[in-house]
Amino acid sequence: MAIVYRLVRSRYADRPLDVTGTRLNGGRWNPPGIGILYTAEHPALALLEILVHMPQVPYSELPAYHQFHLEIPDDSRRLVRSEQLPAYWNENSYANSQGLLAEWLARPDVLALGVPSSVLPDGINYLLHPAHPAFSSIKILEEKPLLLDARLWH
């Protein structure tokens, strides 16, 4: 089994495996209309993936988050390396990258697809597909409030 990490706004902590947000809004790897679960190989990477979208938010106004440790089946993962992707995969506009995984999004042959992080390219984010049969086997091992150090905003 493998462990992946997910940060969820506290108001949604009662549904950590919900993909409604990505289904409605899309993300780097999925267009609107297709929901997937974004996770990371390490809690620090999960935090970086969130903080990169909040550079102007004052510390006192940051939303509260919960950290989840999720267990996924080891045999249901595949890694996509940055060398396998076109040069534009990590551009700020998601329009180009949203179609790169179209085949997996339409027919998920593995539960977890590992992709490079655009924030930290040596890091791996795991995309979990709710249409894969193993999605129901995801186990929540731990949940706790995320405590952020205010020094990150100095």
pLDDT tens digits, 21-66: 999 999 999 999 999 999 999 999 999 999 888 878 888 888 899 9
Q: How confident is the model at residue 101 (pLDDT cuts 50, 70, 90)?
A: very high
Q: The whole model's pTM is what?
A: 0.93
**Per-residue tokens: 16:** 């950590």
Amino acid found at 64: A
Of the candidates 9, 14, 32, 11, the one whose C-alpha atom is nearest the C-alpha of residue 22 is 32
Helix (H) or strand (E) holding 79: strand 77-79
